[in-house]
Amino acid sequence: MEVDLLDRKLVFVTGKGGVGKTTITAAIGILASQQGKRTLICEVDAKGDVAGLLETRPTGFEPREVQPRLFAMSMDTEASLREYLQLQLRLPLVARLGPLARTFDFVANAAPGVKEILIVGKLAYEVRERHYDLVVVDAPATGHVVGQLAAPQAINDLVRVGLIRNQTDWMLEILEDAATTGVVIVAAPEEMPVTETLELVGRLRTETRVDLAGIVVNRVLPELFGRREEELFERLREPDALATLDDAVPGAVEPVLEGARLAVTLRRTRAGHLTRLREGADGVPLLYVPYLFARTQGLRTTRQIAEALGAELGL
């Protein structure tokens, strides 16, 4: 496998809502920490799903070690601003004086680009200071992530001089270095997720200079039969065979066959979307993660996903 995913320093994980973006983020974090890397997972949307997937108490702005070498935090722009003022601009006194901080927060709310840069800035800072070997970001969904990744450039265009300008310069250096930073798009083999993934591939290339590290195809259904077996399955559903089955098997056999037919149809429809994705992905590596028929969602399933992803990465 050519993907040097875990060798990068900053990985943004995005994807259409509902495809399992957070799960894949957590899985990458688990994999990296198992490889001995000091890893930070950062949840930007702060829905708290990472805590559930890793079965730990809610995360905050201050990173906490949740498993050996694996740290988790959730983004908080206000806290990020405070840290920024103290560390970057060396303005501890002013930062503690209310009005400036409040005005900044206010400007950040009014001009959301500022908020986005506080997020990207915090992440890039952790990378620059080498606090971690890898920072994995549960980034916003496909529609929003470009705005976030493009924010430093946008601010750069708006602000010609001053300290902010110096800030965005080093952020861009980190973001635009393919050996350092990469984006992972999570897709599911369904129509809209594939369409949005392909659109995002195009937008990332035209609107940002951030490298696309790979596409994770999540929830791939298992293939029940090969073609010859599928024909055999069809013959099982003919009246003669069905009557024999009914006699031979206690209970209701028809729903069982119907269920298998649905599974076959779903798999076939999805195979079409997968083909479209492969053809449109334009050389970006694809990693496949199977659908889990799981009763619950928690650390156990996250580990299973990590294992499957690790196999795809050749670990």
Within positions 9 to 48, which residues make up the interface with another protein, using CB under 8 A? 16-19, 22, 45, 47
Query: Quick one: 119 or 134, whose CB is closer to another protein?
Result: 119
Q: Please name the helix (run of DSSP H) or strand (run of DSSP E) that holds residue 136, with its range, or none.
A: strand 134-138
Pick from 36, 92, 202, 259 the residue near another protein by CB under 8 A: 259
Pick from 49, 133, 211, 312 the residue near another protein by CB under 8 A: 49
Site for another protein in 130-189 (CB under 8 A): 140-141, 143-144, 147, 150, 154, 158-165
Pick from 111, 179, 311, 315 the residue near another protein by CB under 8 A: 111
Q: What are phi and psi of 11, to 5 degrees?
A: -125, 120
Query: Quick one: 7 or 292, whose CB is closer to another protein?
Result: 292
Asked if 275 interacts with another protein (CB under 8 A), we say no
Asked if 296 interacts with another protein (CB under 8 A), we say yes
Q: 221: exposed, middle or buried (C-beta count within 10 Å: 0-12, 13-18, 19+)?
A: middle
Distance CA 301, CA 296 (A): 8
Asked if 101 interacts with another protein (CB under 8 A), we say no
Distance CA 8, CA 23 (A): 19
Pick from 1, 178, 294, 311 the residue near another protein by CB under 8 A: 294
How near is the Cβ of 73 to another protein at its closest, in Å? Answer: 17
Query: Quick one: 79 or 192, whose CB is closer to another protein?
Result: 192
Asked if 224 interacts with another protein (CB under 8 A), we say yes
Residue 212 pairs with which residues in a beta bridge?
Answer: 183
User: 107: which 2 tokens?
Assistant: 């400007």
Asked if 100 interacts with another protein (CB under 8 A), we say yes
- For every residue of 44-63, DSSP letters joined together read SS--SHHHHHHT-SPP-SS-
User: 281: which 2 tokens?
Assistant: 């992905």
How near is the Cβ of 146 to another protein at its closest, in Å? Answer: 9
Provide the mask over 75-94, with x wherever binding to another protein is found by CB under 8 A and - wherever it is not: --------------x-x--x
Pick from 36, 58, 112, 202 the residue near another protein by CB under 8 A: 112
Pick from 251, 279, 283, 314 the residue near another protein by CB under 8 A: 251
Distance CA 202, CA 200 (A): 5
User: 25: which 2 tokens?
Assistant: 């983020």
Residues 6+ apart with CB under 8 A from 106: none
Pick from 235, 279, 283, 314 the residue near another protein by CB under 8 A: 235
Yes or no: say if 134 and 11 are a contact pair by the CB < 8 Å rule. yes
Asked if 206 interacts with another protein (CB under 8 A), we say no
Asked if 304 interacts with another protein (CB under 8 A), we say no
168 to 2, 98, 159: CA distances (angstroms): 31, 25, 10
Residues 6+ apart with CB under 8 A from 28: 5, 6, 11, 13, 136, 184, 306, 309
The radius of gyration computed from the CA coordinates of the chain, to the nearest angstrom, equals 23
Pick from 55, 265, 275, 282 the residue near another protein by CB under 8 A: 265
Pick from 68, 130, 227, 250 the residue near another protein by CB under 8 A: 250
Query: Quick one: 1 or 232, whose CB is closer to another protein?
Result: 232
Query: Quick one: 252 or 315, whose CB is closer to another protein?
Result: 252
